[in-house]
Amino acid sequence: MRITYDKESDALAIDFRDAEYHESEEIYDGFVIDFDKSGRPMGIEIYYDASKFVDIDRLMRMVPEQLSSEIEEPLVEPVRHR
């Protein structure tokens, strides 16, 4: 699992697992779920105002140490939703 948070744009991405991307679905304004070719969720992205929905500081304290170093990394992957 990989968690990335971009403080400047207030965007959060949680990748559950690596898989071959197939499609995305916006389930709520700014909330996008990515699916693999089998239709299984691969991750979720909140593209703006993530801190209004997720306690980012608490999330950083809860994740294992090896993941917490990735949380401050900016999102670098392109937006894949429709």
pLDDT of residue 65: 57
Could you list the pLDDT tens digit for every one of the 82 residues in the chain? 888 888 899 999 999 999 999 999 999 999 999 999 999 999 999 998 999 999 988 887 777 654 544 444 444 444 454 4
Q: Which residue type is seen at 32?
A: V
Residue 8: domain span: 2-71
- In a domain? residue 46: yes
- In a domain? residue 79: no
- For 59, half-sphere exposure in the C-beta direction (CA atoms, 13 angstrom radius) is 18
pLDDT of residue 44: 96
Structural domains counted in the chain: 1
pLDDT of residue 26: 96
d(Cα 31, Cα 25) in Å, to the nearest integer? 8
- What order do you get walking across the sheet with 21-28 strand by strand? 2-6, 11-15, 41-46, 31-36, 21-28
- In a domain? residue 76: no
Q: Is residue 13 within a helix (H) or strand (E), and if so which, with residue range?
A: strand 11-15
- In a domain? residue 33: yes
